[in-house]
Structure 1
Amino acid sequence: MVNVSDVIVVGGGIGGLAAALSINNTGRSVAVFEQAPEFGEVGAGIQLAPNALEVLDQLGLKEEILKVAVLPKRLVLKDIYSAKEVATLDLGKEFQEEFGQPYVVLHRSDLHRVIYEACKKRENIKFFNNQIIQTAQEVDGTVSITNQNGETYTADAVIGADGLKSNLRKLFSNDELVNSEYVAYRGTIPIQEISNDVNMEDVIMWIGPNLHLVQYPVRRGELYNQVVVFKSYDATKENWGNPDEMTRRFEGSHPEVQNALSFINRQFRWPMFDRLPISNWTKGNITLLGDAAHPMLQYLAQGGVQALEDSLVLGDKLKEYDSYEEAFKAYQEIRIPRSAMVQTSARHWGEIIHADEPVKKMLRNAVFERHHSKDFKVVDFLYGIFKDSKKLTEVK
């Protein structure tokens, strides 16, 4: 049994590393345990709304993020068959003034690298790889974690940031993953391979019945990120959501969409799962963060953003309270209502954009047609968290 630090963070993804940095800002030493052989991030692009930029700004990372990010001009919803713009949101000067920060897109690996490099500069943040943490327990104010080899490490507190399939979540809930029956194929390609017809200044979401395609540039405009998502009609079968089904599902879509599909890497598929919100994720000196606490579907582009919000609130409460238990309870008192709202809203937004019944589509499009591109109230519930006199870190 080895005591490694004041706080152990289980999981070295975006949320775990941001938490390590935020906790370290309180003067505590941190050890990050990651199951992969090396620290890194898989996937492709990530969208960071103003609430994410504010967190990164407070962590001192915004300047480095902007060096590798792209600032799109608009968020655009397009009909996947006609290419008609059905709704837009302007992300320019007025948007930034409204929310205090820009909206950016970048490669997930670039975001992860910036946070990781900031952590590596801290003398009292340590890293452990090849660590699949099985469980954690607290005895007399000391928390121990056990890895796949039966090795045990201890600290004063443990943060479970071990993702969608979190082992530490099992301390609080026996809930199961919820299969959305949707699957994603994603990846990036060199920008020069993209058709000249594509608008490089927007984040575009092509929407249709039970499917969509997202496109935007990343890495200073050097790469183009594309994500194809569709509901599988074979979700009960072993090989559901395969590339052949993707081809069938997108038949008849606009030529620009068909061109995009020709570049999609069909070797890697991501079945899309979430979980229902839970009412508690803290026990003594153990708590959860990010997808371990509140895994959500991707439709609002808030999964990673909510993990960043978690990290800021966690660090703030650790400054405010002397005991971990009090700090963790105060942290979840703020974060559970907020993250649960975003989780459920993401599900609802998925239902809206994927509407497949004529009446639902008609009603949706009627609402979209009345929306003005500078009507920022529609996203205030997500992005406006830092606008109020009460900050994100206070109970509302």
Structure 2
Amino acid sequence: MPDRDRILIAGGGIGGLAAALALAQKGVASLVLEKASQLGEIGAGIQLGPNAFHCFDRLGVGGAARAMAVYIDQLRLMDAMADGEIMHIDLGDAFRRRFGNPYAVVHRGDLHGVLLEGCREHPLIELSVSSEVTGYDQDSRTVTARLGNGETVIGAALIGADGLWSNVRRQVVGDGAPRVSGHTTYRSVIPTERMPEDLRWNAATLWAGPKCHIVHYPLSGWKVFNLVVTYHNDAPEPVAGKPVPVEEVRRGFAHVCDRAQNIIRHGTDWRMWVLCDREPVGNWVDGRVALLGDAAHPMLQYMAQGACMAMEDAVCLADSLARDPTDLPAGLALYRDRRLLRTARVQLTSRAIGDHVYHPDGPHAALRNAVMSAKSQAEWLNVLDWLYGGNGLD
């Protein structure tokens, strides 16, 4: 296939690799352009709803993805002040029958590795590192991506999967810097034997407290526990991956119950991120250029759907382009139209969950407890049906 017929993909993260795999399943060649000197993922745990597993199958990596996942029994919400359970959602047979796939947790690096191996094995996918896309030019037939090293590459279309600070988005949308949420997240991964024995639950557990919350779950075949703690401290500026002492982490959780505080005491090598997102926008597409994943719709972590939405984007993108391979701009516009409302709903719901489930205090928290504890397991499945009931791709 001539170079001008391939699809260029800016970004070799989860979204970019998923896009390459999805296109390859349709017989379309791609070139992934990653700015880093090697392909990999930082971070720790990631939660995967049934919609992620729908995507794995469409990407041709379903078996490998299922093999590296940890299948948890529950989503569990705890009251970080009263030290008691508010509610839980069972993830067993009824959940799997309803949504057609399981709920699981994985290490982000393991997930990226599955996608990367799939890309390396496919003859239609080329991977290029040290290749940051800084901008693009296009005409009626091609897109030329400009790289940070001064080189250019040509293709039939360009997909901006280059994350929250996307260079491609800057040219497509031009909406400036992301919105700083004021929420600071601290992450640690500890050996399972360091996790307090009475908290080694096979669950994705959330402890919700005033302006703070704590999340933990097992990873990597139960070898380690992922710890993620977040404090609404009105942080003014973005920060990513900064090492911090445990004393700084504990400062935002002195008011919660001792058992929840004890989780933080066992963490080591803490790193901090100040969470950012953006307002939903509709102009993801500029002719032969389109955005995907966090470049299109960055969201807060509170629905655990960032990676899932990127993989859904990838599958939908490939399907939309395949409907008429002779008119790629029309295919990109169709992709945007099919994804816009769903991803906007996840973006805005993620914010709302942070405000009304994760961080409320006083009567607000008491109302949360009353409303959420009153629902039956069947009612919770109905609540989740919009997100998990379909594959998000139709």
- TM-score where L is the length of structure 2: 0.93
Q: Is the 8 A contact 2:239 2:274 kept in 1?
A: no
Gaps of 5+ in 1: 387-391
Aligned residue for 1:248? 251
Change (3 A) 1:114 1:332: same
Offset from partner CA, 1:117-170 (integer Å, 9 cap, x none): 011111121111112211112123110111112211111111000000001001
CA distance in 2, matches of 1:238, 1:184: 10
CA distance in 1, matches of 2:24, 2:238: 46
Q: Is the 8 A contact 2:180 2:237 kept in 1?
A: no
CA distance in 1, matches of 2:4, 2:42: 27
Is 1:271 aligned to residue 264 of structure 2?
no
Aligned residue for 2:103? 103
Note the 1:303-322 alignment, pairs <5 A.
303-322=306-325
Aligned residue for 1:229? 230
Deviation at 1:210, TM superposition (A): 1.1
CA distance in 1, matches of 2:353, 2:281: 20
CA distance in 2, matches of 1:132, 1:59: 25
The partner residue of 1:334 within 316, 338, 342 is 338
Offset from partner CA, 1:237-282 (integer Å, 9 cap, x none): 9999965553222114233322221233455211100000111111
Aligned residue for 2:148? 148
The residue type equivalent to 2:343 in the other structure is S
Gaps of 5+ in 2: none
SS of equivalent to 2:156: strand
SS of equivalent to 2:228: strand
Aligned residue for 1:389? none
CA distance in 2, matches of 1:194, 1:359: 32
Note the 1:46-57 alignment, pairs <5 A.
46-57=46-57
Is 1:117 aligned to residue 117 of structure 2?
yes
Deviation at 1:382, TM superposition (A): 1.2
RMSD of aligned residue pairs (Cα, Å): 2.1
Q: Is the 8 A contact 2:238 2:276 kept in 1?
A: no
Identity among equivalent pairs (%) = 36
Deviates more, 1:13-22 or 1:164-173: 164-173
Change (3 A) 1:234 1:181: closer
Aligned residue for 2:80? 80
The residue type equivalent to 2:211 in the other structure is N
Is 1:298 aligned to residue 301 of structure 2?
yes
Deviation at 1:107, TM superposition (A): 0.3
The partner residue of 2:351 within 334, 347, 358 is 347
CA distance in 1, matches of 2:17, 2:194: 34
Q: Is the 8 A contact 1:274 1:297 kept in 2?
A: yes
The residue type equivalent to 2:265 in the other structure is S
CA distance in 1, matches of 2:331, 2:8: 15
Change (3 A) 1:200 1:97: same
The partner residue of 1:363 within 367, 372, 379 is 367
CA distance in 2, matches of 1:79, 1:145: 50
- TM-score where L is the length of structure 1: 0.93
Deviation at 1:383, TM superposition (A): 1.1
SS of equivalent to 2:389: helix
SS of equivalent to 1:385: coil
Aligned residue for 1:210? 211
Q: Is the 8 A contact 1:234 1:241 kept in 2?
A: no
CA distance in 1, matches of 2:301, 2:41: 17
SS of equivalent to 1:371: coil
Q: Is the 8 A contact 2:288 2:332 kept in 1?
A: yes
Offset from partner CA, 1:52-91 (integer Å, 9 cap, x none): 1111122222211121111111000001133211011110
CA distance in 2, matches of 1:68, 1:266: 24
Deviates more, 1:239-248 or 1:105-114: 239-248
Q: Is the 8 A contact 1:232 1:245 kept in 2?
A: no
Change (3 A) 1:237 1:179: closer
